[in-house]
Amino acid sequence: MKRIALLTAMSIISVYQALACTNLLVSKGASKDGSVMVSYAADSHTRYGTLVFMPGGKHHKGEMIEVREWGKERFLGYIPQVPYTYNVIGNMNEHQVLIGESTWGGLPELIDTTAILDYGSLIYITLQRASTARQAIEIFTSLLDQYGYASSGESISFADPNEVWFMDIIARKPKYVNGENTNKGAVWVAVRIPDGCISAHANAARITTFPLNDPENCLYSKDVITQAREMGLFSGKDEEFSFADTYGPLDFSGMRSCEARVWSFFKKHGAEDMDKYIDLARGENPKNRMPLYVKAKEKLSVKDVADMMRDHYEGTEFDMTKGIGAGGNEVPYRWRPSSIEIDGKKAHNERAIATQQTGFWFVGQCRGWLPNHIGGLFWFAVDDAGTAPLSPFYACSTEISDHYRLGNGSMLEYSPTSMFWLQNRIAQFAYLRYNHIGKEVRERVDEHELNMIKAVAAADAQALAAKQKKAVEMLTEFSVNQANALFKKWKALDEYLLVKYMDGNTKHQNPDGTFKNNGHSTKIPPQPMFPGYSDTYKRAVVNEQKR
């Protein structure tokens, strides 16, 4: 009997309208330490945040993988397992190969209802098999050619210690014969991001025209243009063909809710003047496409990338801490739906990189100056990046913390030992008074992450001095211990915040952080502070009461 390995993963909504997920791509020459970095926020209102862990090793002849659609757990089929697979922690494997994604949907007729591999399954199967980013692209595309592509349009990030690639992909137009698709696979283009440059994708196809004869820097499916011609979507010269405009044309939402996130990253960290693309970010001009990548204004640290994942358009005209939508406490979040219609009038709420429905997010570092068992560093967090602290996990790790493990709670089952549920408790409370509670949480996040950067440097040095087997043991222990310590620290933070900020008040504290008492009893505080509301909110209330 054939053995069956079950491929499991976390939740996702793979529809364009969900506006889910953001990736930031940083080439080796654009990073301060020479690492290649990719960040990814996996955003969905049904996603439960856990850390994927797939131990590497040998597999029996005839072993099969049971494929279930990522998140929905819908059975798709079986594919053969390979003789040996690599260790996978999150979205990074032991060879420092790193993969992220964002969904953009695209043309509805380009969906294969008989395919076996959805993009989530492809990501994790590829990570188990690829030792470089280029090989990952080859494996990813060859698998879907063989078994079919069961998803809509996607942008995929592929990285290793030397390169970072940007792919746009969508299914081939199905041709069914007796219920079977004879035109399996996908059309796609993958572009290598030049050294010294940064890129991003956020639920909108972004590759327009591309070089046709430069395999060192651009790869593509042989039929990416011919399919468009056959479908009547394109009739120009090959060199004029735009993948994004053909297979994923922009609408208002694609510009204002998706490309605006890329614009914000480029504006803050790119060397190019991004003000000339403001009409695109506003959702006004789909023809004013931004470049796929830009030169970095300055070299980025891992902390820079992490903090960009916390962006709410601060300092731009889309700043979500401003306006009546932010309420009385400068809350940079807008509950769904994003569109508003009332009294015959319409409005639109912004969609920033940081968002409340994030299941998990990461910043992966591929560090080529270190051996693979030390170089692969996966900074991981659950829930909204705005309030969630990253914890370092080495990609060589042979176990993970139970607080992040799949099966410890779910979106329908609360678990007091789950980091996802603990982090959600803190985030939900911070949303009540973001300019006070959220501010303090962010201070704690920054303190933690800066300490972890120092701790990682020390762990690197210790691992370099040890033989590989011992180093893997040390780095596994480090990863687990740091995650466990963070959970303990965050549990104390949750309790502290409730005591300090209950009922819209703020309790007074001593210089050492303890709470002041009323001078008569250690159990009773003095009258608390009443911080009130922002000036914008006060004016709105006054104006309303004048009517």
Residue 384 shares a structural domain with residue 457:
yes
> Which of 464, 479, 501 is the last residue in one of the domains?
501
In a domain, 184, yes or no: no
Distance of alpha carbon 52 from alpha carbon 105, whole angstroms: 25
Exposure pattern of 89-101 as b/e (b: 16+ CB <10 Å)?
bbbbbbbbbbbbb
In a domain, 392, yes or no: yes
Model confidence pLDDT, tens digit, residues 216-271? 999 999 999 999 999 999 999 999 999 999 999 999 999 999 999 999 999 999 99
In a domain, 397, yes or no: yes
Q: What is the pLDDT of residue 7?
A: 41
In a domain, 467, yes or no: yes
Residue 495 burial (10 A CB sphere; 0-12, 13-18, 19+): exposed
In a domain, 424, yes or no: yes
Question: Are the CB atoms for 18 and 186 separated by under 8 Å?
Answer: no
Residue 410 shares a structural domain with residue 532:
no
Residue 430 shares a structural domain with residue 510:
no
Residue 477 shares a structural domain with residue 432:
yes
Distance of alpha carbon 237 from alpha carbon 223, whole angstroms: 14
Whole-angstrom Cα Rg for the chain = 24
Q: What is the pLDDT of residue 5?
A: 40
Question: Are the CB atoms for 26 and 37 separated by under 8 Å?
Answer: yes
Q: What is the pLDDT of residue 20?
A: 77
Residue 489 shares a structural domain with residue 362:
yes
Tally Cβ neighbours within 10 Å of residue 222: 8
Domain count, the chain: 2
Residue 393 shares a structural domain with residue 434:
yes
In a domain, 292, yes or no: no
Tally Cβ neighbours within 10 Å of residue 539: 12
In a domain, 21, yes or no: no
Question: Are the CB atoms for 79 and 137 separated by under 8 Å?
Answer: no
Residue 472 shares a structural domain with residue 541:
no
Question: Are the CB atoms for 305 and 351 separated by under 8 Å?
Answer: no
Residue 367 shares a structural domain with residue 497:
yes
Residue 308 backbone phi and psi in degrees, to 5:
-65, -30
The residue to which tokens 């300092």 are assigned: 315
* Domain of residue 411, residue span: 358-501
Residue 429 shares a structural domain with residue 524:
no
Query: Could you report the average pLDDT of every consecutive run of 10 residues in the chain (547 residues)?
Result: 37 42 98 99 96 98 96 94 98 99 96 96 98 99 97 98 99 95 98 99 99 98 98 98 98 98 99 98 98 99 99 98 96 94 94 98 99 99 99 99 98 99 99 98 99 99 99 99 99 99 98 97 97 94 87
Q: What is the pLDDT of residue 512?
A: 97
Residue 488 shares a structural domain with residue 434:
yes
Closest CA to 305 of 93, 121, 159, 492: 159
Residue 540 shares a structural domain with residue 518:
yes
- Calculate the CA 505 to chain-centre distance: 34
Q: What is the pLDDT of residue 199?
A: 99
Question: Are the CB atoms for 5 and 66 separated by under 8 Å?
Answer: yes
In a domain, 425, yes or no: yes
Closest CA to 42 of 77, 75, 11: 11
Q: What is the largest CA-CA distance in the chain?
A: 85
Non-local CB neighbours of 382 within 8 Å, separated by 6+ positions = 49, 50, 358, 359, 360, 361, 388, 404, 419, 420, 423
Tally Cβ neighbours within 10 Å of residue 286: 16
Structure tokens at 484: 């466990």
Residue 422 shares a structural domain with residue 458:
yes
Q: What is the pLDDT of residue 459?
A: 99
